[in-house]
A and B are shown apart, each in its own frame.
Chain A
Amino acid sequence: MLQGWVIVVTSFAYLGLLFAIAYYADRRADGGQPVITSPYIYSLSLAVYATAWTFYGSVGRAASDGIGFLPIYLGPTLMIALWWLVMRKILRISKRNRITSLADFVASRYGKSALLGGMVTVFAVIVIVPYISLQLKAISNSFTILVQYPEIVMPVKIGAAPLLQDTALWVALILALFTIAFGTRHLDAAEHHPGMVAAIAFESLVKLLAFVAVGVFVTFGIYNGFGDVFARAAAEPKIAPLLTPLEGVAGGYASWVWLTILSMLAIMFLPRQFQVTVIENIDESHLKKAIWVFPAYMLLINIFVLPIAFGGRLHFPGGNVDADTFVLTLPMIEQQELLALLVFIGGLSAATGMVIVETIALSTMVCNDLLMPILLRLKRLRLAERPDLTGLLLGIRRGAIIVVVLLGYLYFRLAGEAYALVSIGLISFAGVAQFAPAILGGIFWRGATRRGALAGLLAGFAVWLYTLLLPALARSGWLPIAFLEQGPFGIALLKPLALFGLAGLDQITHAMIWSMIANIGLYVGVSLAGSQSAAERRQASVFVDVFRHESGGARFWRGTASPRDLYLVLARFVGAAGADSIIGEYARSRGMAWPSEQLVADAEFVHYIETQLAGAIGSASARIMIASAVKEEALSLDEVGAILDEASQVVMYSHRLEQKSRELEAATAELRAANERLKELDRLKDDFISTVTHELRTPLTSIRAFSEILLADPEVELGERVRFLGIITRETERLTRLINQVLDMAKISSGRADWQMTRVDVREVVADTLARMSQVFKEKGVHLVEQLPEATPPVLADVDRLIQVLLNLLSNALKFSPEGSGRVVVSLRISSGELRIDVRDNGPGVRCEDQPYVFDKFWQAGDTLVAKPPGTGLGLHISRQIVEHFGGRMWVESEEGAGAGFSFTLPLAPA
């Protein structure tokens, strides 16, 4: 009964059922009652991981490697345990930034770099297209085999069939139309495809059911349970080694480990997995169920792989039946028509599920991250000015779906049965593993830069191309095989399968080691060597700190825009109705109406529009569109730094505080010093007043005493009376002189003295003064010697004050010179631009310890308590102040017992 038409009708009936499910789910979602709210549907949709490669290929691999196929399914279990840490973060980031694909995620993380997004897209297409052709091959082969029932004939070499009779072509076209029908029905700003997810979950159930059915049939129908299958396999010398495969057949533990790592990365970074896990996720908490339901699914679908593989080997010992077809050929040879049909449908679900999700993911990437950024930049197209671009977007995506599927077909047609197709599953895994450093690094390492990601991706991908894809092509005969055996240009070190002489590993392990070294090495190295732009730093913070920032990156924006302009931009991509509802929702959440004048295009609003737009056309394109609508003022690196590192500002403030308090301390110290000085001055003033009053009281006391004697006793003799009156007169004169000098000194110190500065001939003044004093000296018998030059240059001084100084010095000298033998020398000379006048006597001199004090106020030579020396003690002090006022100096040179010499200088008057 298994004629061709039965199979075709069944297949179309199945596809029709899928479409009905998708249509129903979409309608329910549009009506606001989505059916995919169950976490089990989410978990089942993840099982799109199990493709035709799993459905048919696992058994094929197990038939030659034993349990060596299993790491591909153990890896996801180990990885998914880490998802609560890793995937939850990716989910949160993607939701907040409206990420639309894997390429968008990478581009967005590294400063919304269109270059990076485009590169990831191109790589993804190169990696995935052969994988799609593998699915086409599976469908076409299984159909060809089933049609031959009850004969078991392996399909002939493809390419022999004429193009229009090639099943694979029709399969490809039907799948493309199918994908377009529920992948691009309309443009959704959230990029959700609830219908597709429901259909994929259903397909997962079908393929699991089909595979388990075959497994149960083989294990319990053909054989008597697991024990029987394994016992018979162990009895067969050719099969027995497969039971303990880890040394030898499967390539040992190294390849086991690397396959595990590879599948751990593939479960996250295959574009279709990213699509169902991240983009189609509607509720973060669904992850909780998926963490155990999905591994359980993997376990179930793998339990019967080895029994089927061994059963096949036992049934077809000749090796003329391809082990990849055991799943189908075992029911066929046992005449189980319905089971065979179910297996075919199961394989069809595995293959179609993969193709549908993968092409939707790729078409989104090609549209949002490759074509739109280029088209929007081409000024000639004036795309940015068109009112409605929704049609264009949908057109590009539909075109991309057809192109991707047909590329898959083309590869299938060209590669045929060749090695390049059979091994492509693992080669694709190794390819998508190259995205891992940029993405995982990007969500945990803030310092990763765009250049680092570019360099790492390029290097990793280049090594992948060189060590995996090129050898595959060479083995298919598209490149000279010498390229593999001798290395390019005969350079043995560059042999693609033993790069730099690293031999003895299987191909995948070898390629993973070198590509990961290149990828991670450059990613980390270049990131560390360079620095981030402002946009990169902002995005790094948005990604890495996603659990900390609650409201995205809105505060990092500065610029001006009108809500109307933003509305128009949004409407171009999601339609006027979509834009109205999106902005309306925003306005409502802030208690405003739309359209209204209240709404202002602040940073938050612009950010909201950009994220919504990113949901439709990807973050890089959205960036370009927003930039065209708003006048954005670039944030300088410094500003962003300042915003991000608020902590550093606090540090700065505290630095300033410290500095201020240090300044304050310094000021306090100065004030304290000033205060000390004031206190000192106050004390000096008190001293001065007490000294002056003491000086005044001495003469007053004697005047009063003698006056009282004269008053009380009128009988005092005339001689006595004259003597008393003489004393009174002298003391009065002394009093007058003292008061005059105190006044004089006060005048000079306070600067109120009246100075009559003129050009003075000092020689003349000295000569005059000496002449005036000569009589007094003669009376006391003191010899006055003058040593004056012929002439001196003039100085600027007050003549009367100068005479006062000279008189003071001369009378002091006279006072202390011994009577009769005294000798006073007055000399005048010019030395180093100054006039110098010396007055030397040969009296008792000034004691060494007294010399610092002779110019102090009221200092007097000798013991004032015993004998009151003549003079007030103010003369020298006043003299020195006068000389200093003229700009000169006055000092004393003396040795005790050898006379004293007082000298002063006067600066010469300017010419």
Chain B
Amino acid sequence: MKSGQRTPRLVALAILGCLLFNYPILAVFNRPASFLGIPVLYAWIFGAWLALIALMAYAVERDE
């Protein structure tokens, strides 16, 4: 019934994604350091990507 919220939620996630995968946030992680042996830039992008997909799944499926 609350599918009216689905579009704004997904649009907000798209905007969030654009922020996460862009300058200046990327610049913060663009340095020679590692997290659990994985370069931070690499870890950040894949971590944020996974989180974004999880949020999208939640946003699109929760009204079922």
Contacts and interface: CB of A to CB of B under 8 A. Distances in A.
A135 interface: no
B17 A296 contact: no
A260 B49 CA distance: 14
Given A81-B11, A291-B60, A299-B50, A227 B36 contact: yes
Interface residues of A, number: 38
A817 to B, nearest CB: 105
Interface string A216-250: 00000000011110110010000010011111000
A244 B31 CA distance: 6
Given A243-B32, A292-B53, A257 B60 contact: no
Contacts of A81: 10-11, 13-14, 17, 52, 56
A230 B39 contact: yes
B38 A227 contact: yes
A77 B49 CA distance: 8
Interface in B11-64: 11, 13-14, 17-18, 21-23, 26-27, 30-32, 34, 36-39, 41-42, 45-46, 49-50, 52-54, 56-57, 60-61, 64
Contacts of A247: 30
Contacts of B30: 244-247
A288 B34 contact: no
Given A78-B14, A292-B53, A230 B27 contact: no
A77 B52 contact: yes
Nearest to B39: A243
Nearest to A242: B39
Nearest to A240: B32
A70 B45 contact: yes
A226 B23 contact: no
A227 B37 contact: yes
Nearest to A71: B21
Contacts of B34: 227, 230, 234
Interface in A305-329: 306
A244 B54 CA distance: 27
Nearest to A257: B22
Contacts of B57: 291-292
B17 A77 contact: yes
A288 B26 contact: no
B10 A226 contact: no
A253 B23 contact: yes
> Interface on chain B toward A: helix, strand, loop, or mixed SS?
helix
A303 B53 contact: no
A234 B53 contact: no
Contact of A84 (B7, B23, B46, B53): B7
Contacts of A71: 21
A306 B49 contact: no
A299 B60 contact: no
Contacts of B52: 77, 81, 295
Contact of A85 (B7, B22, B41): B7
B27 A82 contact: no
Contact of A296 (B31, B39, B53): B53
Contacts of A243: 32, 39, 41-42
A392 to B, nearest CB: 44
Nearest to B21: A74
B43 to A, nearest CB: 9
In this complex, the member of A247, A295, A303 whose beta carbon has the largest number of chain B beta carbons within 10 angstroms is: A295
Given A78-B18, A226-B37, A292-B61, 17 more contacts: A78-B14, A81-B17, A227-B36, A227-B37, A230-B38, A230-B39, A231-B37, A243-B42, A247-B30, A253-B22, A256-B22, A257-B23, A295-B49, A295-B53, A299-B46, A299-B50, A306-B42
20 contacts: A67-B42, A78-B18, A82-B11, A82-B14, A84-B10, A84-B60, A226-B37, A230-B37, A240-B32, A243-B32, A244-B39, A245-B41, A246-B41, A257-B22, A260-B22, A288-B61, A291-B57, A292-B53, A299-B46, A303-B46
Top 7 nearest A-B pairs (CB, nearest first) are A227-B37, A292-B57, A81-B14, A253-B23, A78-B17, A246-B30, A243-B39
